[in-house]
Amino acid sequence: MRIAILLYDGMTALDAIGPYDVLRQVPGAEVLFVGDGAGVKRTEEQPLGLVADRTLAEVPHADILVVPGGFGNERVMREPPTLDWIRRLHTTTQWTTSVCTGSLILAAAGLLHGLRATTHWASLERLRDFGAEPVAERVVVQGKIITAAGVSAGIDMALRLVARVAGDDMARGIQLGIEYDPAPPFDAGSPRKAPEHVVQLVRQAVEFKRERYRSSAA
């Protein structure tokens, strides 16, 4: 099973690594990190780099595609070669997936028109601009397309995907192996639960960073 994970400058690390650490454990899995060029891709404003071993041209097909999010998606959404690659790969996949604002990249490629989809809560309404129906759910499955909400939801998405391709026991075993048993210190993981002043602070920070990346991509 060939799994292609798109990497790009400005992505969120956990969007890619969360699903990777789950999906790599599926028997027979071959995970490929793919970029518009081979080499290190830097995550958002951090020094952390992830390495794309393959270029888009070197990966013409895959069984599973994972598209992570991050503020760098503002640039990727305007890159025809990457969007063309996503469209072509989608014709070969069993599953096409995204994490966080990676769904906006899928939407920009035209894959979510008329479909229910999710993304990070602060970007949810942007899906309407591409003809998708925003859904405030952790994971949304529409045919062979699976979209996950913000960042940590990528782990949930990947475990659900494992259950579909390798069975529930395999998914349970991987979940146990990575001890994915969340017990957060605060019940503030969604805008419905967090204090309003915290929601506004995060919303302002997200918008500030988004505009900065959007300006640099213009």
**Active centre residues (catalytic):** 100
Strands 2-6 and 30-35: parallel
- Phi, psi at 119, each rounded to 5°: -165, -170
In whole angstroms, what is the distance from residue 208 CA to residue 191 CA? Answer: 18
Long-range contacts (CB closer than 8 Å, 24 or more residues apart) made by 56-62: 56/81, 56/82, 56/85, 58/34, 59/4, 59/32, 59/34, 59/89, 60/88, 60/89, 60/92, 61/2, 61/89, 61/92, 62/2, 62/3, 62/4, 62/32, 62/89, 62/92, 62/93
